[in-house]
């Protein structure tokens, strides 16, 4: 029987649920659909899980731009190909769904690439939030468009200053 472990990170944009396999590879990082309070984790004692949580904390406090986490997302071969391509989008930059399809070698796979992007189980680390519409619009994000907007602003090389 494969064992799994869950833990949680309290972030500025909500609680992020982390799920790990028996090797403590990150299988998913999702914002639960329902707002939840920070639950007790079942993998809390693991040094490997604490290392992952530390990297998320560093990302959210602005001191980490890349992650060094063992990943094990579950999906089809095509989805995994898309998710691997997402890992190539640098911090602070965006790409479009059309550019993603082109990089995958076929401009006609734009819908399939967008669908795979939307099924990314490891948000933030596999940066699906960095993919936008060709017109610059913030299209779709499983964690909610308000989170996508926050993440892109957080990663922006020139943060917007409030005049008020």
What local confidence, expressed as pLDDT, does residue 119 receive? 95
Residue found by looking up tokens 């998710």 in the block: 83
End-to-end CA distance of the chain: 56
Annotated active-site residue 128? The verdict is yes
Band (1; pLDDT cuts 50, 70, 90): low
Last residue of some domain: 60, 88, 103?
Answer: 60
- Range of 97's domain? 77-155
In-domain check, residue 130: yes
Is there a domain that residue 33 lies in?
A: yes
* Residue 69 domain-assigned (yes or no): no
- Do the domain assignments include residue 70? no
Q: What is the pTM of this model?
A: 0.87
Q: Is residue 98 part of a domain?
A: yes
Looking at the chain, the whole-number percentage of residues with pLDDT higher than 70 is: 88
**Residues 30 and 95 both lie in one domain:** no
By the 8 A CB rule, do 105 and 146 touch?
no
Catalytic residue among 29, 101, 128, 132: 128
Report yes or no on 68 lying in a domain. no
Would you say residue 36 lies in a domain? yes
| Same domain? 117 vs 82 | yes
Same-domain pairing of 92 and 38 = no
pLDDT at 56 over 80: yes
Does any domain span residue 122?
A: yes
- Decide which of 16, 32, 60 is a domain's last residue: 60
Does pLDDT of 54 surpass 80? Answer: yes
């Amino acid at each position: 029987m494969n064992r799994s472990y869950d833990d949680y990170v309290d972030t500025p944009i909500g609680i992020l649920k982390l799920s790990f396999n028996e090797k403590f590879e990150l299988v998913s990082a999702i914002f639960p659909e329902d707002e939840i309070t920070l639950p007790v984790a079942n993998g809390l004692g693991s040094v490997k899980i604490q290392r992952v949580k530390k990297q998320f904390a560093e990302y959210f406090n602005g001191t980490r731009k890349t992650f060094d986490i063992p990943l094990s997302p579950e999906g089809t071969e095509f989805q995994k190909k898309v998710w691997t391509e997402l890992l190539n989008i640098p911090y602070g930059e965006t790409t479009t769904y059309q550019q993603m399809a082109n990089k995958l070698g076929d401009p006609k796979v734009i819908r399939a690439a967008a669908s795979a992007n939307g099924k990314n189980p490891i948000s933030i680390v596999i940066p699906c939030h960095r993919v936008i519409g060709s017109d610059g619009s913030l299209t779709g994000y499983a964690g909610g468009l308000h989170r996508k907007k926050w993440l892109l602003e957080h990663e922006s090389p020139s943060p917007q200053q409030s005049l008020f």
